[in-house]
Amino acid sequence: MNNKPAILGIGAWVPDFRLTNFDLEKLMDTNNNWILERTGIKERRILKEGTGSSFLGIKAVENLISKTFLNPNIIDLLICCTSNPDYKVPSTASIIAKETGIVNAACFDISAACAGFIYALDIAFSHIKLGRYKNILIVAAENLSSMTQYNDRGTGILFGDAGAAVLIGPSENEFGIEDVLIKSEVSGAEQIIVRGGGSKMPFNEENFNSDLRYIRQDGKAVFKSAVLAMANVTKEILEKNKCEKNTINYLIPHQANLRIIEAVAKQMDFPMSKIPVNIEKYGNTSSVTIPLVLFEWENIMKKGDKIVLTAFGSGFSFGACYLQKAY
Residue 89 is classified by DSSP as: S
Residue 71: closest CA among 163, 150, 5, 137: 137
Residue pair 119/182 in contact by the 8 Å Cβ criterion: yes
Pairing of strands 177-184, 136-142: unpaired
Q: Which of 84, 254, 257, 321 is catalytic?
A: 254
Q: Is residue 187 helix, strand or coil?
A: helix
Task: Let me know if 321 is a catalytic residue.
Answer: no
Quick check: is 284 catalytic? yes
Going by C-beta distance under 8 Å and a sequence separation of 6 or more, which residues neighbour residue 165?
Answer: 10, 11, 12, 57, 60, 61, 63, 64, 137, 138, 139, 140, 291
φ, ψ for residue 7, nearest 5 deg: -80, 125
How far is it, in rounded angstroms, from Cα 297 to Cα 299? 6
Candidates 114, 135, 143, 321; catalytic one? 114
Please name the residues in contact with 113: beta carbons below 8 A apart, sequence gap of 6 or more: 83, 192, 286, 287, 313, 314, 315, 317
Among 135, 257, 284, 321, which one carries the catalytic annotation?
A: 284
Cα–Cα distance for residue pair 117/111, rounded to 1 Å? 10
Q: Is 107 a catalytic residue?
A: no
C-alpha 16 chain-centroid distance: 19
204 membership: H or E segment, kind and range: none
> CA–CA separation, 295 vs 10, rounded Å?
6
CA atoms in the 13 A half-sphere facing the CB of 153: 11
Q: Are strands 18-20 and 43-45 parallel, antiparallel or unpaired?
A: antiparallel
Active-site amino acid positions: 114, 254, 284
